[in-house]
């Protein structure tokens, strides 16, 4: 039982080594593609899709957007909006006691009329945050009347596909590396939370990130999630956009002027003022937000609102921030999914069953990715889907299927051999045995005849054993001679040479062998360590071809002598005859074959005429463990000649 179990284990290992190799190669290719960044576009699409499909959330009332739309611009009658309008808007909002106001409108130069009024507004309001541009080639300074602690940069960073998924919270001033710069959203968030006694600090687990209370902002790294080699300067984080048809309350300039809102909508809130008119180029591409007014585009002021909202709600309400696994865990996850289709292919061993199983497992992988994005975990899904799609539906299934078909063919061949063997036994030994038993019972068969019948039976049974042994040989382990005899190349070389000699001289298609009177052969044994199966094949073919040349060209031959002897580390195989000799013009093809055999063995071939008549053909080669040892062959040839 233990032996059978071990045999099954060894067979299973052999199957996996052969059939699973394509799947493992594909897994390695997918990992290389991911390491080189070839999959990051697909992984970004997967991230956007999962974020887009999340269940809707309630409106975040902590953040209110005052969006100046197309109707407001037409009402004012011009663009850019004059400073007086902005000053009046800020003054009105301030009267409702918001916790902090963010002005997402560039105000580095005066837009008359009303600039002096706006300057005074900047000087009086201490909870107002203005913006600047620090990352663009042409930096845009903040309003000069605002102190640095009331300024945040509004620069946003796009991915290579032109979409926005990350948010830069902190960086250094490119013109003055010693000067820290904070984003608009970080300034607004810090001001909002400081009113509740929560201050901005550096991280504990990650000292290079930002922390509010016990909540650390997951820092974006060059290879975070599906990114490969991305710029991670400063403190960036992945943006966990808020879902729902109305993530935030949005009021217009007209709503503020006419008082078309409830006062408590602004009290103790973050109020963001910006432009969301479609004619103003302040929109950014994204596929992660559902129910956008302009499909695939979100205004800059709304983008900053999402950044504020995610940090505030993470600190106050434990809303998840987007996180990723460390790289070792990600690649372990990919490797696990790389072996899943291989296992499926081995278990199903059917193309259609494999298709069904792989389809179901693919949906499971997508479901896992979606379920984990809800609590904020972005895991690799695309590499696993690629492996399942290509490996599961193609390579592994086909490899295991082919292997299974090959096994079935082998079983069928063995069954056919068994049936044929039974027929041979039935028609041969069983008939002989039945004949002998019948005469023994009748006691009408002489003793010598009965002995002959038993000897015949013994010969027939042994012949069946030899038949089965040769039938089980693979093409690499066997050689079929011109006489039809099949040789087992695993036998000793001297036994094989005897078989070749005897079988070839018994052929009736070689006319000059009919005159043979004397046949002598002596082959000294050679240790198997000196010869591979292929070298044994070459030597058998050499002897067969030499004897065939005698039968075809040595007219009047009466004696053939074949000897094999070892001397001083070399072995010489000689075939002599006393025929009329071989006409070189008639045997060029056979001669080339003999020379090739000698060359492959690393030996020397020689054929010459004997006096008064006859021919000698011989090959001599060194007995070394590996004839590929070129230096050893060169030394032997040098000593020989």
**Chain segment 62-87, per-residue pLDDT in tens:** 999 999 999 999 999 999 999 999 99
Coil, helix or strand at residue 98:
coil
Task: Spell out where 276-420 has E strands.
Answer: 283-285, 297-299, 323-324, 377-378
pLDDT at 609 over 60: yes
pLDDT at position 427 is 59
Q: What's the Cα-to-Cα distance from 308 to each of 59, 169, 264, 305, 380, rounded to whole Å? A: 14, 10, 20, 5, 27
Cβ pair 285, 342 in contact under 8 A: no
CA atoms within 13 A of residue 367's CA, in its CB half-sphere: 6
Report the pLDDT averaged over residues 529-549. Answer: 86
Cβ pair 383, 39 in contact under 8 A: yes
pLDDT at 389 over 90: no
The pLDDT confidence band at residue 473, using thresholds 50, 70 and 90, is low
Report the pLDDT averaged over residues 236-260. Answer: 95
pLDDT at position 67 is 95
Cβ pair 82, 111 in contact under 8 A: yes
Polymer length of the chain: 641
pLDDT at position 348 is 67
Report the pLDDT averaged over residues 563-579. Answer: 91
Cβ pair 566, 623 in contact under 8 A: yes
Query: d(Cα 156, Cα 395) in Å, to the nearest integer?
Result: 44
pLDDT at 158 over 60: yes
The pLDDT confidence band at residue 626, using thresholds 50, 70 and 90, is very low
244: enclosing H helix or E strand:
none
85 vs 537 pLDDT, higher one: 85
Query: d(Cα 89, Cα 467) in Å, to the nearest integer?
Result: 104
pLDDT at 359 over 90: no
198 vs 507 pLDDT, higher one: 198
Coil, helix or strand at residue 318:
coil
Report the pLDDT averaged over residues 147-159. Answer: 95
Task: Spell out where 339-434 has E strands.
Answer: 377-378
508 vs 504 pLDDT, higher one: 504
Highest mean pLDDT among 230-234, 392-396, 403-407: 230-234
567: enclosing H helix or E strand:
strand 559-567
Contacts of 64 (CB under 8 A, 6+ apart): 98, 248, 249, 250, 251, 265, 266, 269, 270, 271, 272
pLDDT at 160 over 80: yes
Task: Spell out where 276-381 has E strands.
Answer: 283-285, 297-299, 323-324, 377-378
Give the closest residue to 182 by CA, choosing from 168, 201, 196.
168
pLDDT at 388 over 70: yes
**Chain segment 112-122, per-residue pLDDT in tens:** 999 999 999 99
pLDDT at 233 over 60: yes
562 vs 416 pLDDT, higher one: 562
Strand partners, 183: 153
Cβ pair 238, 245 in contact under 8 A: no
Per residue in 301-333, is it b (16+ CB within 10 Å) or e — as a string?
A: bbbbbbbbbbbbbbbbeebebbbbbeeeebbeb
The pLDDT confidence band at residue 306, using thresholds 50, 70 and 90, is very high
pLDDT at position 633 is 42
Strand partners, 523: 564
pLDDT at position 121 is 95
The pLDDT confidence band at residue 417, using thresholds 50, 70 and 90, is low
pLDDT at position 629 is 42
Strand partners, 176: 173
Query: d(Cα 307, Cα 242) in Å, to the nearest integer?
Result: 9
Query: d(Cα 82, Cα 93) in Å, to the nearest integer?
Result: 17
pLDDT at position 52 is 94
pLDDT at 641 over 50: no
Beta-strand relationship, 235-238 and 166-173: antiparallel
Report the pLDDT averaged over residues 337-357. Answer: 74
Task: Report the 10 Å Cβ neighbour count for 282.
Answer: 18
pLDDT at 98 over 50: yes
Strand partners, 184: none
pLDDT at position 133 is 94
pLDDT at position 111 is 92
pLDDT at position 405 is 64
- Asked whether the bond before 113 is cis by omega within 30 degrees of 0, the reply is yes
168: enclosing H helix or E strand:
strand 166-173
Report the pLDDT averaged over residues 358-376. Answer: 92
pLDDT at position 468 is 61
Give the closest residue to 184 by CA, choosing from 223, 216, 140.
140
pLDDT at 326 over 80: yes
Percent helix, strand, coil in the chain, to 5, is: 50, 15, 35
480 vs 516 pLDDT, higher one: 516
pLDDT at 156 over 70: yes
Report the pLDDT averaged over residues 178-199. Answer: 95
Strand partners, 215: 212
481-640 folds as Heat Shock Protein 90 (3.30.565)
pLDDT at position 179 is 87
Lowest model confidence (mean pLDDT) among 180-189, 357-366, 457-466: 457-466
pLDDT at 300 over 70: yes
pLDDT at 413 over 80: no
Q: What's the Cα-to-Cα distance from 568 to each of 283, 477, 554, 562, rounded to whole Å? A: 91, 30, 32, 20
DSSP 118-139: HHHHHHH-TTEEEEEB-SSSS-
pLDDT at 340 over 60: yes
Phi, psi of 522 (to 5 degrees): -145, 120
Strand order in the sheet with 166-173: 176-182, 166-173, 235-238
Mean pLDDT of the chain: 85
Contacts of 402 (CB under 8 A, 6+ apart): 19
The pLDDT confidence band at residue 586, using thresholds 50, 70 and 90, is very low
pLDDT at position 4 is 44
pLDDT at position 628 is 44
Query: d(Cα 303, Cα 308) in Å, to the nearest integer?
Result: 9
In the chain, what are the domain boundaries? 2-36+325-408, 60-322, 481-640
DSSP 46-85: HHHHHHHTSPP----TTEEEEEE-HHHHHHHTSSSPPHHH
Query: d(Cα 179, Cα 59) in Å, to the nearest integer?
Result: 37
Contacts of 195 (CB under 8 A, 6+ apart): 99, 268
Contacts of 146 (CB under 8 A, 6+ apart): 122, 128, 130
Query: d(Cα 370, Cα 172) in Å, to the nearest integer?
Result: 36
The pLDDT confidence band at residue 600, using thresholds 50, 70 and 90, is confident
């Amino acid at each position: 039982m233990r032996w059978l179990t071990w045999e099954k284990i060894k067979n299973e290992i052999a199957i996996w080594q052969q059939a699973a190799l394509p799947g493992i190669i594909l897994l390695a290719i997918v990992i290389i593609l991911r390491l080189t960044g070839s999959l990051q576009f697909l992984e970004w699409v997967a991230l956007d899709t999962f974020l887009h499909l999340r269940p809707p959330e309630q409106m975040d009332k902590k953040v209110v957007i005052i969006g100046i739309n197309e109707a407001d611009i037409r009402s004012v009658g011009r663009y850019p909006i004059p400073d007086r309008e902005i000053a009046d808007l800020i003054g009105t909002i301030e009267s409702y006691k918001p916790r902090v106001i963010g002005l997402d409108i560039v105000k580095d130069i005066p837009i008359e009329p009303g600039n002096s009024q706006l300057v005074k507004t900047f000087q009086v309001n201490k909870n107002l945050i203005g913006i600047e541009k620090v990352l663009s080639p042409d930096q845009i300074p903040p309003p000069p009347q605002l102190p640095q602690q009331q300024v945040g940069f509004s620069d946003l960073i796009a991915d290579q596909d032109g979409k926005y998924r990350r948010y830069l919270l902190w960086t250094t001033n490119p013109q003055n590396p010693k000067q820290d710069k904070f984003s608009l959203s970080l300034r607004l968030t810090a001001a909002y939370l400081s009113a509740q006694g929560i201050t901005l600090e550096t991280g504990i687990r990650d000292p290079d990130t930002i922390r509010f209370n016990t909540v650390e902002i997951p820092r974006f790294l060059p290879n975070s999630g599906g990114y490969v080699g991305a710029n991670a300067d400063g403190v960036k984080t992945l943006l966990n956009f808020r879902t729902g048809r109305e993530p935030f309350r949005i009021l217009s300039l007209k709503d503020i002027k006419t008082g078309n809102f409830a006062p408590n909508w602004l009290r103790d809130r973050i109020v963001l003022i910006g432009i969301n008119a479609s004619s103003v180029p302040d929109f950014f591409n994204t596929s992660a937000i559902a129910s956008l007014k302009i499909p695939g585009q979100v205004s800059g002021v709304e983008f900053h609102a999402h950044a504020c909202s995610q940090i505030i709600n993470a600190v106050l309400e434990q809303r998840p921030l987007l996180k990723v696994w460390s790289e070792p865990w990600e690649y372990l996850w990919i490797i696990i999914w790389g072996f899943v289709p291989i296992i499926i292919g081995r278990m199903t061993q059917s193309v259609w069953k494999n298709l069904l199983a792989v389809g179901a497992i693919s949906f499971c992988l997508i479901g896992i990715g979606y379920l984990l994005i809800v609590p904020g975990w972005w895991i690799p899904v695309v590499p696993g889907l690629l492996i399942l799609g290509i490996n599961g539906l193609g390579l592994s299934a086909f490899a295991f299927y082919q292997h299974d078909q090959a096994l079935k063919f082998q079983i069928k061949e063995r069954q056919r051999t068994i049936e044929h063997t039974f027929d041979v036994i039935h028609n041969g030994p069983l008939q002989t045995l039945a004949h002998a038993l019948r005469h023994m019972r009748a006691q009408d068969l002489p003793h010598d005849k009965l002995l002959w019948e038993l000897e015949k039976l013994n010969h027939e049974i042994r012949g069946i054993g030899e038949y089965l042994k040769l039938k089980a040989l693979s093409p690499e382990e066997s050689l079929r001679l011109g006489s039809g005899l099949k040789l087992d190349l695993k036998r000793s070389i001297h036994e094989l040479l005897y078989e070749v000699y005897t079988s070839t001289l018994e052929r009736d298609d070689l006319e000059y062998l009919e005159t043979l009177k004397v046949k002598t052969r002596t082959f000294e044994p050679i240790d198997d360590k000196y010869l591979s199966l292929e070298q044994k094949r070459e030597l058998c073919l050499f002897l067969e071809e030499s004897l065939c040349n005698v039968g075809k060209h040595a007219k009047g031959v009466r004696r053939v002598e074949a000897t094999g002897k070892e001397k001083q580390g070399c072995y010489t195989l000689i075939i002599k005859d006393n025929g009329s000799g071989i006409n070189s013009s008639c045997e060029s093809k056979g001669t080339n074959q003999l020379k090739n055999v000698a060359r492959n063995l690393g030996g020397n071939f020689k054929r010459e005429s004997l006096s008064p008549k006859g021919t000698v053909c011989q090959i001599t080669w060194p007995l070394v463990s590996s004839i590929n040892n070129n230096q050893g062959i060169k030394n032997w040839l040098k000593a020989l000649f």
